[in-house]
Structure 1
Amino acid sequence: MNISTFQNNLHFIKSLYFNEEWKDKKCRDEVLRVLEEANGKIEKAFGESICVLKDHKPSLEAVEKVANKFPSTLTYRNDRGRIPIQHAVISCNGYEYVPVLAEEGMKHEVGGEDARGGLLMVDPYKNWGLNTMQLLASVRSYDGEDDDDRRHSDVKRLNLLKELREMDLLLKRDIQEQHLLACSCWKLSQMRFEYLADWDKDALIETRIGNEEMIHVMSSQPQEIIGLLLKAGFKYHPNIGGLLFIEDDQGNTAFDHLVNEKGVEVVMSLLHEILSPNRDYPILHHVFVKAPQHKDLFMNKFPWAYSLKDHNGRTLHQAVLAAGPDVMIANDILLATLTDDQFQTQDPINNLYPFAAMAVGEHANLEKIFYLLRRQPSVMERHSRSSSWNSCASFQSEDEYQR
């Protein structure tokens, strides 16, 4: 039987009973039962079909029509337990249907009112625990794809993220709440990772996975992943040393976590690959202030950074002095290497001479102050002309290195 014959039969039966030409109730009930059963099979057929859109490539308008006529197809699960939008996300040729499936899913509350049309529904396959949105961020490549295909796959899914963002189906808060940076941090999804990191730069620092900082949790991942994270950190948070010195709840830095997981040689080589090509990042400024116990390690690896200035125009010794007496004492080798010119040079931000910087705060060190004054007594007179001791005593350092 073809569709036209079936449709004619339905019209004929409807006409008979509507006009009361046929009044057999038993016959009517049997016809209704058969039609109800047939309708269920029709919906199942379309459900199976909408799960393999990549195979028959209907228009977006046709998908919308089917979803409106048979809303149950949007929640039909294939043999892996995936609903159509999830299958479209992981498919190499069905990705373009994700927006229309999400939009229709919103109309029909697929997964519930807060499931964003199925985007926040968990994919049951292999108990990965990822939802549809996380799958979209993390899907990488398929067997048989070459490098060009894989890059193209990344571009396609990046464009999907952008489209969902325009539809307000992908929100900025999702980047942290759904751990999208962790999901996309991989070479084969690198463009998606960079797009998300650029959209929410703070997510690199603020994302927590299982109550731990993302960089700490991912310190056990392959070097490729760690490298992407560190590189993004230096790009978007250069003034605090990238992600290297983010501390967990116990005060352990990301650098220490990485060293414990990968070994010091691997971590330092990775940092060398990121920082040494341009040789313009003042990494030593951050190490001397935030992790002085590692200064020798970094000095040996990045000797070129010793003479750099930071974003405030500070030299290394000025940055350490600005961080406070305690930090300077932890790096007292810098005191011994100060030149006469450095003794007589004011800080470019707070205008303090080195001896005055050692007098700031509750941990002022008189021994170091007198040592510096004995080296160059003339700076006392210069300091008196440029500022008062009262302003020096009340000065509160808020340097970014201490954050």
Structure 2
Amino acid sequence: MKIAIVDGYSTGSLLAHKLGQRGVEVVHLRSQEIAPPRLLPSFRPALYSHDFGHFPDPADAVRALKEAGVDRVVAGTECGVVLADTLAHELGLPGNRFEGVEARRNKYAMARRLAAAGLAAPVGFSTTDPEAAVDWFRAAGGTVVVKPAASAGTDNVHICTTEDEVRSAAAAVMAGTDYFGNPNPSAVVQKYLVGTEYIVNTVAVNGVQKVSDVWLSAKTHGPEGAPLYDYQQPLPLTAPHVAELVEYVVAAVTALGITDGAAHSEVMLTADGPVLIETGARLMGAMLPDVLERHSGTSHVELLALALTDPEGFHAFRDTEVRWSRTVRNVWLINGRAGTATAWHDRFTALPAFERLVTGVREGRPVRRTVDMATSPGYVSLVADTEAELDRDLAAIRALESAGCYVTEPMAPAETEPLNSLESERISA
């Protein structure tokens, strides 16, 4: 079997490794001429038998993959979603429904597609004019979120309560590039959803959806108005509200045409029920599959690898029977000021519940102030028997951060440095 991964960065590298362990030959191609610098450190060329690079003309990619005898094409990360689905369609291979493929990247089109299917969706507006964004905000009233139409993480996300904030946020979005370096031709303005945020990860084979894991996703407000991840914690499928969330997300990803492959859905449980924030037709990023598999028996990566290589095994998998032997929590790190990095790693590895540290910040190098996910120093995976133990170590991490544990001195104003990488180093207990 031969599988092509488009943009095999981040969790895409973990998928390539997992497929290789199953005896699959894996090849690679890029959706962009220049790979996103913030994702490139996570790319592992040795995992692929061949790297085709970038094809300016998708027709050339189709011919190359056909000649190579590729059996499947999948996205490794968010920027590869549209090209992966397009190539699978052109090659006549199993894949997501091609009709509506753009709605799997454009957040405004995504919400419209959900609403057309009769599902709860964010109320929003898309525009290329900051003044039109202000007009919509004025008519809608209340708090809104302004963000790029197609990006990832918390990149260029603004929570706004005034006309000036909306105007400034929309202008900033359209003047900038997205998480992957592409221009933002438009901004999406959506009513702010109030509730508790969750993650539901699914994998589908021929329209049959199964759940690998469900997470509580706790966020806090960043210094520049963007939400920051606080921590993420997988939940038992028997936990309150999980069945309701799963039912809604399965309907949502089906409405988005995700019938063959992975989906990573962020959903807000509001007073009126679940509402999709967004879905990525790919694996969840920033995860440690081996940790999850050790304590639950599966992971998003493992379930996708099973679906791609053993459809019968996938159909036999009973997602409702997944049980967690211990409690896992990924704590996102928040640096309060830019400066030169100290030797800070050992302060976290000494925590009683410490499992692993994922970071690209090294001693003696500049580290940026955390204003979004991309500028976080990384995350710490904690594993314990009780919630109280996790709460204790979370409090210890935040106390260390309040004391300025990451930096020794402020960074000079003129000094610049690439964004912190979350993929380049994984330190285990």
The structure whose residues are more often strand, as a share, is 2
TM-score (norm 2): 0.21
TM-score (norm 1): 0.22
Give the greater-gyration-radius structure (CA). 1
The structure whose residues are more often helix, as a share, is 1
